[in-house]
Amino acid sequence: MKVLIEFEKNPLFFKDPKKIISCHTHDEVASCFVEMEKAIASGHYLAGFISYEAGHAFEQKLATDKGYDFPLIYMGVYERPVKNAVDVRSISRKAAGRLEIVTTNKSRQEYFEDIDAIRSFIERGDVYQITYCMKFLLGYKGDKYALYRELFDAQPVPYPAFLEAEGFSVLSLSPELFMKKNGTHIVTKPMKGTWFREGIMNNLFGGHFLEHDPKNRAENVMIADLLRNDLGRIGNNIRAPKLFEVAGYRTLFQMTSTVTASIDADILLHDLFKALHPSGSVTGAPKIRAMEVIRQLEGEDRKIYTGAIGYITPDKDLMFNVPIRTLLFRGNAGEMGVGGGIVWDSTPQGEWDECMIKAGFINPLK
């Protein structure tokens, strides 16, 4: 497996793993984390991903005996990363092919019905917010790394990654940090809140509109509070030093908040991921009930989408993104999840339009 992590403009390239730690059932998740601890203790790096559905294994009421057709955990064990930029960018020199959007896995009517169902859950008090997702089904004949490079060049993001393994490729053009741990300090940056750059006014002032929009601020602070709670399960000195930060991308503006904590530098990886994975920004609140509703309504596995991609050092420092704007290919067939936070005043048409625009970063390459 080859893993290229380009977080915060610091490329790390992992290749030729000593072994792959992986599993396809919830019963195997805990033993994978034991193997990961052993690999780190022996001085190795880990790089790869943890799928969204791996998070079900951490809660008894969510865990099942289902066998998944896509890995729940897929982490390579490496001696060290390659940091030479020439080596990193020479993974492939081929030109990108043509990317085709085949269809979506939900019709407009089905999507509208699901948004109405979520609003009913909110009305009953079951949940406050649900991050609901649909999928774009894709076709692509060509070199996957060339496509990743072209997508990144068209719209740079701070947390991109590329993975190539036997049977699948992952192209993650993510703007969202899941977590970053250095020693005893851990940072999370949940992303919630979107404003599109259509029209002169939105292009010029959309960031200001987003920062001060009551609906988007309410969504954002709700998830920031969820992350405060999750971090409080494993750490102390919980802080939110930055709220409602807005970043601009080619097609939209998005809002993040920063939540930090102090934790044990040697915390078990299983305990860390059990507390935080998946990120509250991709579930909603309250988290466990939101995940139950998501499984009921979405109807299929998210896989890598909204899971976690990243690396872990022998010192247990680590960094993972939230793989949104992420394409998963198996052969020439691909999928890309797109979603948003649904609250009481969300409308089916408004959320559908948001999904269409969020998928717009691949439009120039169709």
> Of 192, 274, 287, 316, which residue is the catalytic one?
192
Amino acid, single-letter form, for residue 317? D
192 is catalytic: yes
Cα 84 to Cα 45: distance, rounded to the nearest angstrom? 17
Cα 113 to Cα 121: distance, rounded to the nearest angstrom? 13
> Of 6, 164, 176, 351, which residue is the catalytic one?
176
Cα 65 to Cα 44: distance, rounded to the nearest angstrom? 31
Cα 26 to Cα 57: distance, rounded to the nearest angstrom? 5
Tell me how many helices (H) and strands (E) the chain has. Answer: 9, 19
Q: What are the two backbone dihedrals, phi and then psi, of residue 272, each rounded to the nearest 5 degrees?
A: -65, -50
DSSP-based three-state secondary structure for 269: helix
Cα 16 to Cα 1: distance, rounded to the nearest angstrom? 7
Question: Residue 197 is encoded by which pair of tokens?
Answer: 């750059």
Residue 221 CB: number of other CB atoms within 10 A? 16
Residue 89 CB: number of other CB atoms within 10 A? 15
Active site residues: 176, 192
